[in-house]
Structure 1
Amino acid sequence: MDATLSTQQRAAAAEDAVISAYVHRYGPVAWGHAATDGDGARTWHYWWHAHLVHVLAEAERHRPSAARRRLIGDLLRGITVRTAGTWITPFYDDIAWMGLALAETRPHGRARARIARLLAGAFDPAVGALPWRTRSVLYNAPANGPAAMVLAPSRHRALAERMTAWMTAVLDDPATGLVRDGIEHGGVRPDLWTYNQGVAIGAALALGDGTRASTVLEAVDRWCAAEEGLFPAAGGGDGGLFAGILARYLGVAASRMDGEDADRARRLLRRNADALWAMRRDGAFPADPRRPALPTGDDRDLSVQLGAWITLEADVTASASVTS
């Protein structure tokens, strides 16, 4: 790590860059735009906002600030406006991400409870899992992992356990131990995305299953070893958040697990945080930490910058666990 900057300072720099470039206030409400240039500059994404609120809550734990608390409130009002007060979309994965964000910010208890009820009601007992969205035949890790985390501390804990058991039994890749994307029309979608691994670790830890978390963590470590410890990149758009989500739950693992597991999570996080920081250019991070950030294209998506910021906040979490 750059000896002149602490993990807190790096995370704070990422936060400042994201807020100044992407987040805009309109009176008492706020929201972020998808990109800093091009036709997508005014696009609003529900699930990106869930992660924006979530990482702001993480930053608030790390560096408390009255200004940040006001911004979180403005963003939550913006989401209320954008969803006409429902907090709901047709996508169960997006709804679960919002439920996790709201659990971090602590207000809107009624919205959190509604999200939990909706996720529990959408569970398909014939499959043993939650579909990706309404009227979908795709059942995947990005919906079931975060939904399990939402439901684990609720009266629906048994459903969370069934979701994680389904992921283990159906989606684990026998060859690598990694979590595949999902099933559709009876066939397995073999894609190995970083965020699938993150939500599997997060769900296992939410349910107190350290053995499962350790198994996936070891698989991730092997997977990244071929890339000098770096997470596989997934480009811009939604993919810009994938590695950051894995990083978030590696931070959780570093703070909750012991011994070799905690060290492994901490080491992976530091390697990726260092690479992102080294490839930063003009305050922006690259979609792929193997190269410098570019002034146009995927690197200018809010999702990419948000994913990098999440990684740097997770590095703060992991670093703090060493001395706590």
Structure 2
Amino acid sequence: MNLDALRIRVQTLLAAASLTVLTAAFPSIAAERTYPANPHTDGPTAVARARVAADVLMSSYDPDKAWFPSSWWNSAVALQTIGDYMQRTGDRRYLGQLDNTFEKDQGVFPAGVLSGDPLLGNFTSQAIDDTEWWGLTWVEAYDLTGNPKYLNMAVTIANYVYGYWDTSTCGGGVWWNAQRTYKNAVTNGLWIRLTAELHNRIPGDTLWLSRSSTAWAWFQGSGMINANGLVNDGLTNACTNNGQTVWTYNQGMAIGAGLELWRATRDPQILASVRRLADAAIGPNALVTDGILTESCDATNQTCDDNGKQFKGIFMRYWTDLVDTTHDPRYAAFLEQQAESIWNNDRDAAGRLGTRWSGATNDNNPNVFDWHTQASALSALIGDVPKLTPWESLAATMSPAQPVIMPPASGDTSIAIDLGVSATGFFPLQARASIDAPSGWSTSPQTTQVRLQPHGIANPVSSTTPLQVTVPSSATDGHYMVTANVTAAGMNFTTQADVLIAHKIDFDTGTVDETPWLFDPDGSQSNGVQNRFADGTTHFTYLFPFPVDTTSAQVTLTIDNQFLVQVSTDNETWTTVLEEDQHVHDGSNKAARTIDLTPYLGNASNGSKPIYLKVSDSFPSEGWGGRVYHVTANIVE
């Protein structure tokens, strides 16, 4: 019997034995969904896709401030998403980041440090819904680790939130904020879910179950669920449905709240209500366009803000719970459809996932890719992973995933790309990678063998193989794909590098056109299309690989606020070329400023004359750093 046959035989026996034990302990597990609803995505591939996307998300995590830059409640949701990923796949590499956030961010912080509101300690603030998101995150951490400090923190948070349950207005419900100005869907959906989760984890509890049941009954009768079964945003001052937007996260949160309470009570009426909410969500004229979950701000004439970017992921977290609980093939098929569309239509070569899961874009309102959209779309990929996690998986990436080549007038240009291969499992894995490049290009090597020794699923192992890609000078401007097909033990995974050939530099920041030039985003942000800014100690760096025959070059930045601009030829030694010495916080100094780069054009390196251009904050203590809108360059060869 060869190794592959032995592997399959052993895995089959292990799976059967494991399922027998689990079924004996938990009779309901026999009905669990063990494979994705759509056979086009097998279990190992679903795990691999989720791993690639999770790693991209965690590349934006700031270990010093222990969050994802400049978004407090959004960071809680992103960390819970990573917790979902670890729960679903068995990968445990990011437990340290969860604990890092718990230890560093549980204190008191003034407004503007981690949140627009002051943080009162123990992840509480005047924003009650923000506080609840952190409660759910720490329940997730408890589920992953069994460490009671996380559950205790969730209880502390829930006790704080209970102070804002108020029967004197609208007969009940939790206020949205400490000022008690609004009762809305998300705050109360979160409350029901959090209290039910606490009950389901605290032996002998009756208190949290009572509070959850009371809140569910109030929510069902509050009027926020309209005649179509959709959840509007909240209540008017007269305690009637305010008719505001049906956001996907409100619908999903209501589904998730009911599911957790159903687990606590097994009340069939609760599950029936959940199904009505779910059927309404995917019904006609609801939250789906051409089969794809669609936020109202996903319209191609709009742009979602940083909050809206994450709403669909919250919906999919609880939709996954719905699939796992009901085993309804309609719900499973919808989940699979979202994951497939994201992977096939809403992903770039760097593994980034966008805000519009259909992939729709246009010049004025392009599809946006950032850590918020990554966390959101990742939830659908996590849901696509079988509940009974495959032991083996194989994934691959290419880095840099979006390199730029600026060819000289004559002669070929070479660029280095690293092929990374990762795997989980219990057997040695011999993977074969085949590299395909555009016609007239060459790669070395064209095929390569990678040997990996996985040791389980908790810590995927990886290997990196350097590739050399040679591009002829005749290559015209545009995007070209270099593809690596990696196969091993009946598994396969395809990854690509999107090579941009460019004879000019001209892009708006905060768009997909910026990405190939953005060498190091550090902790910079883009709060909309056509801007990027770096506050405090953060920065962002562009790399311009000017052709080897370049004799002079100028770059023009449309820039404002308190900017510091530096250049380097090696990304180590920097020269200041622009600096704002006034305290400008309102963009009033916005202008196109031109920098002569000719003095910095050094010797050719790797087939180009590279210039690194870094933008940071000239007054880092104030937090109004350089903001760039547009970049162009003039080159003379």
- TM-score (structure 2 length as normaliser): 0.45
Per the TM alignment, residue 121 of structure 1 is displaced from its structure 2 partner at its CA by 2.0
**1:225–1:198 Cα change, 3 Å:** closer
1 CA distance for matches of 2:366 and 2:157?
A: 34
Q: CA deviation at 1:299?
A: 1.7
- Unpaired runs of 5+ in structure 1? 34-42
Q: Distance in 2 between matches of 1:119 and 1:179?
A: 22
Is the contact made by 2:336 and 2:384 (CA closer than 8 Å) also made in structure 1? Answer: yes
Matched, 1:280 2:347: yes
Amino acid at match of 1:199: M
Q: Does 1:245 align with 2:281?
A: no
SS of the counterpart of 2:358?
A: coil
2:282 to 221, 241, 244: 221
Moved more, 49-58 or 241-250: 49-58
Residues 78 and 201 (structure 1), Cα distance of their counterparts in 2 relative to 1, 3 Å cut: same
Unaligned runs of 5+ in 2: 1-37, 108-113, 143-148, 200-206, 263-269, 298-303, 391-637
Q: Which residue does 1:172 correspond to in 2?
A: 225
Tell me which residue corresponds to 2:252: 198
Tell me the distance in 1 between the aligned counterparts of 2:276 and 2:75: 31
Give the 3-state SS of the residue equivalent to 2:62 in structure 1.
strand
Contact 2:294 2:357 in 1 (8 A): no
**Out of 237, 261, 268, which is 1:185 matched to?**
237
Q: Check the 8 A contact 1:237/1:301 in 2, yes or no.
A: no
Per the normalisation by structure 1, the TM-score is 0.85
- Count how many residue pairs are aligned between Structure 1 and Structure 2: 304
Identify which of 63, 73, 88 aligns with 1:25.
Answer: 63
Kindly indicate whether the alpha-carbon contact (under 8 Å) linking 1:270 and 1:315 is maintained by their aligned counterparts in 2. yes
Structure 1 residue ranges (4+ consecutive) displaced by more than 6 angstroms after TM superposition: 293-298
| Counterpart selection for 1:123 from 160, 165, 173 | 165
Residues 248-267 of structure 1 aligned to structure 2 (within 5 Å): 248-258=317-327, 262-267=328-333
The one of 210, 213, 225 aligned to 1:161: 213
1:270 to 336, 343, 346: 336
Q: Which moved more, 1:236-245 or 1:64-73?
A: 64-73
1:84: Cα distance to partner? 6.8
Q: Is the 2:281–2:288 Cα contact (8 Å) retained in structure 1?
A: no
Alpha-carbon shift at residue 294 of structure 1 (Å): 8.8
1:276-306 Cα shifts (integer Å, max 9, x gaps): 1122113222211222579997723422111
The residue aligned with 1:311 is 380
Deviation at 1:65, TM superposition (A): 3.8
**What's the counterpart of residue 38 of structure 1?**
none
Corresponding residue of 2:126: 90
More strand by share: 2
Q: Secondary structure at the match of 1:32?
A: coil
Correspondence for 1:291: 359
Partner AA of 1:210 in structure 2? L
- 1:39 corresponds to: none
Equivalent AA in structure 2 for residue 245 of structure 1: I
Matched-pair contact (CA < 8 Å) for 2:106–2:123: yes
CA–CA distance in structure 1, aligned partners of residues 306 and 353 of structure 2: 14
Alpha carbons 1:254, 1:266 under 8 Å: kept: yes
Say whether the 8 Å CA contact 1:287–1:298 is kept in structure 2. yes
2:178 equivalent to 1:134: yes
**What does residue range 59-78 of structure 1 map to in structure 2 within 5 Å?**
59-78=85-104
Counterpart of 2:341, as a letter, is: A
Q: Provide Cα deviations, 1:249-291, integer angstroms capped at 9, x if missing partner.
A: 0100111114xxx222212211111111122113222211222
Deviations 1:38-84 (A, max 9, x none): xxxxx2x2211211221121121223345311222123234325547
The structure with higher relative contact order (CA 8 Å, sep 6+) is 1
Identity of aligned residues (%): 22
Relative to structure 1, the CA distance from residue 195 to residue 12 in structure 2 (aligned partners, 3 Å threshold; closer, same or farther) is: same
CA distance in structure 1 between the aligned counterparts of 2:311 and 2:256, rounded to whole angstroms: 14
Are the equivalent residues in 1 in contact too, given 2:186–2:249 (CA < 8 A)?
Answer: yes
After superposition, give the CA deviation of every residue in 1:129-179 in whole Å (9 maximum; x if it has no partner).
1111111331111100011111124423222223222322211111x2111
Q: 1:298 to 1:118 in 2, by over 3 A?
A: farther
Task: Please tell me the residue identity of whatever aligns with 1:280.
Answer: R
- Aligned partner of 1:320 in structure 2 is 387
Query: Contact between 2:74 and 2:372, CA under 8 Å: does it hold in 1?
Result: yes
Q: 1:124, 1:130 within 8 Å by CA — same for their partners in 2?
A: yes
Instruction: Describe the SS at the equivalent of 2:384.
Output: helix
8 A contact 2:339–2:381 mirrored in 1: yes
- CA drift at 1:3: 5.2
Aligned partners of 2:73, 2:138: CA distance in 1, in Å? Answer: 12
Would you tell me which structure has more helix in proportion to its own residues? 1
Question: Superposition RMSD on alpha carbons, in Å?
Answer: 2.6
Equivalent position of 1:108 in the other structure:
150
Letter in 1 for 2:377: A
Shift of 1:242: 0.7
CA offset at residue 229 of structure 1? 1.9
Q: How do 1:18-57 and structure 2 match up within 5 A?
A: 18-20=57-59, 22-26=60-64, 30-33=66-69, 43=70, 45-57=71-83
Decide whether aligned partners of structure 1 residues 145 and 225 sit closer, same or farther in structure 2, where only a CA change above 3 A counts.
Answer: closer
1:11-49 CA-to-partner distances (Å, cap 9, x unmatched) read 1111011112x11223xx63212xxxxxxxxx2x22112
